[in-house]
Every structure is written in C-alpha cells, then in structure tokens.
Chain A
C-alpha cells in the first residue's frame, strides 16, 4: 500500500514530531533516574570533582545505621495505606452522590475539586495555621464547643502529627478521586441501570452488580494514582512539619532530599531514592502490563 519513499518520508516526519518531546523527556526525566542508581553506589558531597565508588556501603549504612530511614519507611507505608483507603472511598461516595440529578450539583462538584487546585505548599501553610495550638481554628472551635479535653498540639505531638497532616492531605485530594470516578460513571450504561431498577433491584444491588463492574478500570487507575501520589508526598510534609517533631512525620521522599541537599550526602540520599523507586516500580510495572493486556484484548 505504501511505497518505500512515502514510508521513509513519513518516518522522517514521525521523528520530527516525536523528537522534541523524546529528547527533553529522555534527558531530564530518564537520565536522572539512571544517574540516581550510579550515585547510590558512590560517595559524593555534590561539589567535589571526583566521586568515590563505594559499592553497597550506602545501602548498608541506611539499612543498619540510620534509624530515621526505618521511621521514614514506616511512616511512608502508613501514609500510603491511608491514602489508598480514604481519599478514594470518600471520592467514590461523593461521585456517586453528585452523579444523581441534584439541585446545585455543579457548584458542589466545583467546591470539592477546589482544594486540588490549591498549591500543596499553600495547603500546608493554611493547615499549619489552622492547627496552631493557641490561635488555630481547631482548638478555638473545640473551646467554643466546650470540648477543651480534646484540644491538642496537632502538629507538635509525635503521636498524632502524621494523622493531622493526613487530614489536610485528604482534604486536598478527595476531589481528584471524585473527578476520575465521575468521569468513569459516565461510561456506566444508563439503560442497564434502568433495566435493573425495573427488575426490582435496590440501590445497593444496582451499585454492586451494574455500577461497580463498570468502574473496574477507573478504580484501578484511581488506586494506582493514589498510591503513586502518596509516595511522592513532599510539599505538604516540608511545609507543615519539615519531618518533625523528632522525625515523627519524616518520609522517604523528604528524607532522600534532606540527605542529599541539606546534609550533602548524595550517596545515601540516592540510595534512599533508589529504594523508593523500586517500591514505585513494583506498583507501576504490574499496572502497565495489566493495562496493556487490557488494551490488547480490546483491539
């Protein structure tokens, strides 16, 4: 169908069209990912002309001599589990509710989505102020409700700081899950829902047997995106607690940054990055394979 000259020219055109995106992506996204692996086997302060190859020493150090690493790992795992459960389930409930024809559902959708647009660092600033033990909103409201016993130092107490921070995170990201679920709900066959209702199915049965199966792909996307975005929690931690008090809210992404850019130990920082990358890959690679297989089956 195509003669060779046409093929050649269309190949040149394809290269021209793909070229800019590919070049910038390979240089500034893929190369750092390779570089971080090299760095993790070296000792380097970020400035010195020569980097010394130290093999697995950085890994040995962070796994055996760095208690903060284990704290950060535990916090990251807790955070990820919470982030996969709460924002997506609240988002799903809101999407189901706001998919009904209700008065004012468009402005309500906008309200729930609004925090997604706010810069995470601004969210951190806002919530830090609301959590202020003396002048903050939360303790003021508790006082006026007569619930003085519940007053806490929300971000200063090691036991609860991580969860206080997670509430702010949930406030910000529920709208994100909601929009994805709303988009997914548009693909639910309305006639199927009507038919089920006519056959006497109640709301729960319709949800369980019609809506939920249709949301399978959306659900997978939301869960994978929630996991990934929880692993990269950085801005909100940096802005709200800086990892404190006493490292009780430290997480891997921030700890990797601090090791490299504040303690100037690029080797150890990069080793933490590589561990976090490996965790990410164990989620991303199976998902990519699953989604590709799904696409192959659809064609």
Chain B
C-alpha cells in the first residue's frame, strides 16, 4: 500500500474549505460500510494468527496476543501446500504471459490489418467472452481426455488460454483501434512489417492496458476452481483452490490452520493486485469501457 499515501495527501489538499454536510454524511456512511466490508478479511487474518485455545477464549475481533505462526507451517505441511502452490505457480506463470501475447497479437491484426472477415472474426472472439465455461465442464473433460492430457499442465493451460483469450482480445482491440494512424503508417510505408510495428510501437504503448489485463488474468487463473476440479484429478497435480477445498473437508475444526490455509491461498493474488493496482482503473478506462 506504499503508493496510496502520497495520493491521500494530494486529495486532502483538494478538499474545498467549505465543508458540505452532504459530503460529511456520505463519508461517514462510506467508512462504516468499508469497515463492515473488510471485517471478514480482518477476521481471517486474526484467526490465522491465533492458537486454537485463544480462538475459543477471545472474541472474534480481538487482535491475536501471542502470534501463532505455527498455524501456517502446520497448514502448509498438512494441506500439501508445497505441491499445490508449485502447481498453481507453474500454471499461472506459463498461462498468463502466453495468453496476453496471443491476445495482443490477434487484437493487433484484427484492429490494424484490413481483413475481409476481420469484423466477423472479432465477433467470433467476443462471443467466447460471454459464454460461461462452467456450463461445459463435461465436454471440456471429454476433449482434454481425448488428447490424453488429463492430470497434465498443458491439459489445464490450453483450456485456460482458450477461455482467457476472448475478453483480452476484445479489450486490446478497443485500445489498438483508438491508436492514431500516424503512429504506425510511417513505419509501414518505410517497409516495416506488421510484426515489427506490433512489437516496436504497439506493445510499448499498450503496457498500461496489459498491466490491467495481467492483474485480471493472474487473479482469475490463480483462483480458478471448476475447470481444475474436472481436469486435475490426481492430487499431485492439484492447484491451490483444490487443495484448500480438500483441506476444508479434512481439518475444518482446526480453525487456526484453516484460516492460515485461506490466507496462504489468497495472498499471492492480493500481492499482485497491490503491485499493479495503480494501472488498474486507468488501464481499463483507456479505450476499454467504450463499448
């Protein structure tokens, strides 16, 4: 949260000296609501750091007295986190950059190269962004099984790519379409290929959008459950959400460790969000929300 502090100062300076009573009431309502909204997260964090004896003895929102780090080490080994964490990391680190690359390439071609079926292709991609894959778990299983890829990394990465690409193509297409012609025309007339123009001109200027998409994609890949449930049946191939689900089933009464397990599952996505969050709203607004 280091990036937040200077912005708060900047904004306090902008508050007009005349205090509007409406704004004061609004502020109180928003802060109260925010406290309620963050309460479950605080609860998880506190409980994860308490011993089971302390959980039973103290009320839910009392900060932990003696910090019980062993909840984390206990949950880590009992919940097989070493395996699930590694699997999640491998899948996410391969899938996210690869998916963004595929999407950016396709979005550039659809936005900047005149193609007879360009518009139709775009619509074809857009269609996929609207179709929930949760509806089609069985045929996805059948297909991946047909390729002999159940319980493998490619077996889960390929469908992840397929269902991530449409939305990203849609957003990046909107962004690339809005880039002024002058920026690429000179290079193209000088004989540069589209691949070069894409790499040297369009990729660098789209970094904020790519950062926003990176957060979204990292988070949704890291958190994905339904498809992993179907495609990864061997527990050595499980990802974090599958591990957490099984942990809940086995050790649901060990509250300290259960909450430590939740915290460890959630933490990496929250970290990535915090690192890239300043690009988030700005990246999504630039050309994206237009339509």
Contacts and interface: CB of A to CB of B under 8 A. Distances in A.
Interface string A276-289: 11001000100110
B237 interface: no
A257 B4 contact: no
B53 interface: no
A122 B244 contact: yes
Contact of B258 (A116, A117, A125): A125
Nearest to A203: B22
A35 B11 contact: no
A25 B291 contact: no
A292 B108 CA distance: 19
B35 to A, nearest CB: 9
Given A14-B115, A36-B136, A292-B123, A24 B289 contact: no
A157 B22 CA distance: 41
B165 A13 contact: no
A52 B46 CA distance: 56
Given A140-B60, A184-B289, A232 B135 contact: yes
B44 to A, nearest CB: 6
B110 A103 contact: no
A154 B136 CA distance: 30
B134 A234 contact: yes
Interface residues of B, number: 99
Contacts of B27: 102-103
Interface centre among B110, B225, B229 (most CB of A within 10 A): B225
Given A13-B195, A21-B106, A122-B262, A171 B37 contact: yes
Given A111-B34, A140-B60, A235-B225, A103 B8 contact: yes
Nearest to A251: B134
A39 interface: yes
B239 to A, nearest CB: 10
B23 A18 contact: no
B92 to A, nearest CB: 12
A180 interface: yes
A112 B281 CA distance: 14
Interface centre among B33, B163, B169, B259 (most CB of A within 10 A): B33
B266 interface: yes
Contacts of A118: 41, 223, 266, 269-270
A130 B139 CA distance: 35
A49 interface: no
A221 interface: yes
Contact of B138 (A13, A120, A187, A256): A256
Contacts of B161: 24-25, 28
A23 B24 CA distance: 55
Given A24-B161, A231-B132, A111 B37 contact: yes
B62 to A, nearest CB: 12
Interface in A121-145: 121-122, 125-130, 135, 137, 140-141, 144
Contact of B226 (A20, A187, A224, A234): A234
B219 interface: yes
A101 B11 contact: yes
B230 A13 contact: no
A292 B252 CA distance: 49
Contacts of B57: none
A251 B81 CA distance: 30
Contact of A291 (B37, B128, B270, B291): B291
Given A140-B60, A239-B245, A122 B159 contact: no
A32 interface: yes
A10 B137 CA distance: 38
Interface of B: 1, 4, 7-8, 11-12, 14-15, 22-23, 26-27, 29-31, 33-34, 37-38, 40-41, 43-44, 59-60, 102-103, 105-106, 108-110, 113-115, 121, 123, 125-128, 130-144, 158-159, 161-163, 165-166, 169, 193-195, 198, 219, 222-223, 225-226, 229-230, 240-241, 244-245, 248, 252, 255, 258-259, 262, 265-266, 269-270, 273, 277, 280-281, 284-285, 288-291
13 contacts: A13-B195, A18-B110, A25-B128, A25-B165, A39-B139, A103-B15, A118-B270, A119-B265, A137-B60, A184-B289, A253-B134, A260-B141, A298-B291
